[in-house]
Structure 1
Amino acid sequence: MIRIAHLSDLHFGFHRPDLVEPLLDRVNGAQADLVVVTGDLTHRARASQYAQGAAFLERIQAPLLVIPGNHDVPLYNLPVRFLMPWRGFRHAVGPDLTPVREVGPVRVLSLNSVDPCAVQRGIIRNGEIRRLEGSLDPNGMNIVALHHPLEHLAQVDKELSRRAPQALARLERAGAQIALSGHLHVWATGAMLDQTAHPGLLQVQAGTALCGRLSDRQNEFAVLQIEGTFLTIERHIAPMGRGFNPPEHEYFSRESGVWLAHQPAEKPIVPGATETAFSTA
């Protein structure tokens, strides 16, 4: 049994200070084998925000895999954004923008989907799909972590990352089984499975772990528990103005080679997806 905690979109600098300690308590109490943070550690990539984010990461007791999000490059400091976009992230988190971690039979590979030339829209760079295809473990569980989702719910009004459809199809075909992402501040798992043409790759799209934007209505993170072809997801949800509720559970299996949900699909809260480019997501 492998346990992986998935956090995304912490947005230090525009976060809920009251939720930092409860979040750390929950994450450390989950006894995860790995904690994956899929981007937007900061809100505006300022040094003070990176310092807050780094201090938070240092208190997580499990091994970490952290990748950048679109908010982790400066928005208004254009020379840094275009010439040294990863300077703050590398200083605070580490030099590797596409780390790989292995936990037992599970391999977690990452992809940097941030495009410094765009405010929100991501990009799958030339060669990145091929790199991931060649790095998958043919005998294990393969998880791909990136900030921008590979597919959107029908009601989401943002543009997909460039080359996302090709990446989704090719990674499923190559043997990736799970994709972890964030960016939209909208939780989606079973709802994605209901609409996708690629049920061999389960998309786990996280909500925001700490962002203080009221229209998001809640903060949350998830813990994936992997046992062979079975997956249990614990959702830890904190409504705005409150602490964490008892965890909710979702159950999936892929004995036939494609994912099946063992409960009705969730009804995603989508208001966050309609915010303007210079707001949050």
Structure 2
Amino acid sequence: MSLLLQISDPHFGTERSMVVAALLRLIDAFPPDLVIVSGDITQRARRQQFAAARAFFDTLRPTPMVVVPGNHDIPLFDPLARLFYPHRNHQRAFGAELEPSFELDDLLVIGVNTTRPYRHTDGEVSMQQIRRVAARLEAARESQLRVVITHQPVAVTRTQDEKNLLRGHERAVQRWARAGADLIVGGHIHLPYVLPLHDIFAGLPRRMWAVQAGTALSHRVRGSIDNSVNVIRYSSEATTRGTTVERWDYVEASERFERVAQHDLALDGAPQPDALTSAG
């Protein structure tokens, strides 16, 4: 059994101290095997904001983390830094690798850096990135839950959020499905939901799910949804592969995170080699 905690869009610099404390209590109650951080770690990519984020995540050690940047993690008001060294502060805090990965016997997690200095909020995935991720997925073991992290979403629930879709997401979803991906997790729009990508994209050869998280710590919540994180549970020992995604929201009255939704997701087995193609 592997337990993953997805933290997205904490936006350090806008974090709520009581929510930070509540999230630490949740982690103490359910220690994860891996923490996934799906972007927008800071509000304005400032060095002190990254230092605050690093200090928070240091309290979780020795739990491993896979951290990818979001559009807020590159400078907005410093054009020279944005153009020539957009990820400098991120890399100071979390290391040089912008597309980290993590692997256990039953788990493969692959990070994708979808930020682009020449775009404001939009994210983009290149053909090179799509092929790199696909090659790693194709080499996965059958027992592994195969997870890809992108900051921007590959599917949305509201028409007004379509402008936030990851550029190149159609090609990525199709290729990663053929390669054997199970979940594509992200954030960006501060709305938590789970969607069956195999029902949204015609012709996908397997069941694949979009798992979106809300903002974990920031006061920049959307609508009636408070701060939110996802707990993902996976066991490869069951007769039928499946995973459970639990949504945990911060509840003002109790000052703690509480489980408000659970999605039991059916998964397919590993793709057969003759079902894969080399097309991008």
Q: Is this a same-fold pair by TM over 0.5?
A: yes
SS at match of 1:6: strand
Aligned pairs for 1:37-52 (under 5 A) are: 37-52=37-52
Whether contact under 8 Å (1:236, 1:244) holds in the other structure is no
Whether contact under 8 Å (1:219, 1:240) holds in the other structure is no
Q: Is 1:148 the equivalent of 2:152? A: yes
Deviations 1:197-255 (A, max 9, x none): 45621110111101102544400111100023121222210146862343234232425
Cα deviation, residue 122, structure 1: 0.3
Q: Is 1:252 the equivalent of 2:264? A: yes
Taking a change above 3 Å as real, the CA distance of residues 248 and 196 of structure 1, as seen in their structure-2 partners, is farther
Q: CA RMSD in A?
A: 2.1
Q: Is 1:207 the equivalent of 2:211? A: no
- TM-score of the aligned structures, taking structure 2 as reference length: 0.85
Quick one: which amino acid aligns to residue 4 of structure 2?
Answer: I
Distance 1:180 1:97 in 2: 16
Aligned pairs for 1:21-100 (under 5 A) are: 21-61=21-61, 62-100=63-101
Distance 1:104 1:138 in 2: 8
Taking a change above 3 Å as real, the CA distance of residues 73 and 104 of structure 1, as seen in their structure-2 partners, is same
Hey, what does 1:120 align to over in structure 2? 121
Hey, what does 1:101 align to over in structure 2? 102
Q: Is 1:163 the equivalent of 2:168? A: yes
Cα deviation, residue 4, structure 1: 0.6
Moved more, 210-219 or 163-172: 210-219
Distance 2:154 2:268 in 1: 23
Distance 1:133 1:109 in 2: 10
Moved more, 142-151 or 21-30: 21-30
Residue 246 of structure 2, aligned match among 221, 234, 244:
234
Cα deviation, residue 142, structure 1: 1.0
Whether contact under 8 Å (1:28, 1:60) holds in the other structure is no
Q: Is 1:181 the equivalent of 2:190? A: no
- TM-score of the aligned structures, taking structure 1 as reference length: 0.85
Distance 1:196 1:242 in 2: 40
Distance 1:12 1:216 in 2: 20
Moved more, 103-112 or 198-207: 198-207
Distance 2:91 2:173 in 1: 28
Q: Is 1:243 the equivalent of 2:255? A: yes
Taking a change above 3 Å as real, the CA distance of residues 157 and 170 of structure 1, as seen in their structure-2 partners, is closer
Whether contact under 8 Å (1:42, 1:72) holds in the other structure is yes
SS at match of 1:247: strand
